[in-house]
Amino acid sequence: MTRFERRQFFDRLCQLQALYRLRGDYDATSAISIAGAIAHAEYLLVDMAALAEALGDEAGDPSATSSETQRA
């Protein structure tokens, strides 16, 4: 990373930090606990239909191949 790129990266981080400060506390509160997130991920790994729904319609459809989706 060059000196110019580091400076750009640092400036962008400062911008993001300022934007997050403006959002306030309502955006800092998590809606799900870590244990809940892990439990949900384990559920998705077991239930392939739920995983397909979470990822999108064609993600779990074995009839939809990558060549078919590229033709569309």
Q: Is the pTM of this model over 0.85?
A: no
36 and 58 inside one domain: yes
Is residue 64 pLDDT above 70, yes or no? no
Give 58: exposed, middle or buried? Use CB within 10 Å, 0-12, 13-18, 19+.
Answer: middle
Residue 11 lies in a domain: yes
pLDDT tens-place string over residues 5-40: 999 999 999 999 898 888 877 776 778 888 999 998
Residue 50 lies in a domain: yes
pLDDT number for residue 54? 81
Is residue 63 pLDDT above 70, yes or no? no
3 and 14 inside one domain: yes
8 and 22 inside one domain: yes
1 and 25 inside one domain: yes
Domain range holding 18? 1-29
Residue 68 lies in a domain: no
- Distance from the first to the final alpha carbon of the chain: 39
pLDDT > 70 fraction of the chain, expressed in percent and rounded: 76
Domain count, the chain: 2
Residue 72 lies in a domain: no
25 and 44 inside one domain: no
pLDDT number for residue 15? 94
pLDDT number for residue 30? 73
